[in-house]
Amino acid sequence: MGSGASKQAGKAAAAAGRRQYPSSSSILNSATSTSNAPSQSMKPTAPSQVHPNPEATPPTDTRDPHVDLDGRDPQFGAALQRLGPAMRKDLNKAAFPTSSQPPPGQQGQNIFPSKAPGSNAGMMAFQARERIAGKFEQELDDLGRSSFKGRSLISAKDVKEALRMRDEAGVSEQEIERQLRLQPGILSRLARPGVYANV
């Protein structure tokens, strides 16, 4: 009549009642056996148990194509091959200051196929990002100078603030550009009034 769980608990209690406990301590027994003779469990394992048997799976010199497919995603690998190797700009200048070719002693050290820097999309994106970040930092440094004509690059926070001031607060574009120290006409190039909505 009860649930299956209570029946299992009853069986476990009956099994616990039948347990036999040793009459003497196992520490004392193991100490006397170790002093007399080495135990059976201390024998060194055979080398065949540690290393796999080479006759069961002989090594091969060729790579199985299935192993390669397991290790990488084919679409990701194709995208990486299209990008080509990435080379840092500052390392190239230090290694080869006067020529784009490596010195004669280092001809064979490039393990990647040579590609023109203009065709490497990854390098082009990296260089453009570096150039824009440098220009942004330069504009921030020049911000306090009297000869500064205004910023041409602005952060997303400043774009949001400028559009909010123009569309929601009704401030004129010229006043916003003056307050945020932007170049004249920058705000009119961002978006027409009414396009932006703060959600």
DSSP class per residue in 98-133: S-SSPPGGGGGG--SPP--GGG-HHHHHHHHHHHHH
pTM: 0.36
Rounded CA-CA distance 172/9 in Å is: 81
R_g of the chain, CA atoms, integer Å: 37
CA distance 96 to 109: 14
**Using an 8 Å Cβ cutoff, are 114 and 146 in contact?**
no
pLDDT, one tens digit per residue, over 65-92 is 765 665 567 776 777 778 878 776 664 4
Q: Which residue has the higher pLDDT, 188 or 56?
A: 188
pLDDT bucket at 184, cuts 50 / 70 / 90: confident
CA separation for the pair 96, 63 (Å, rounded): 37
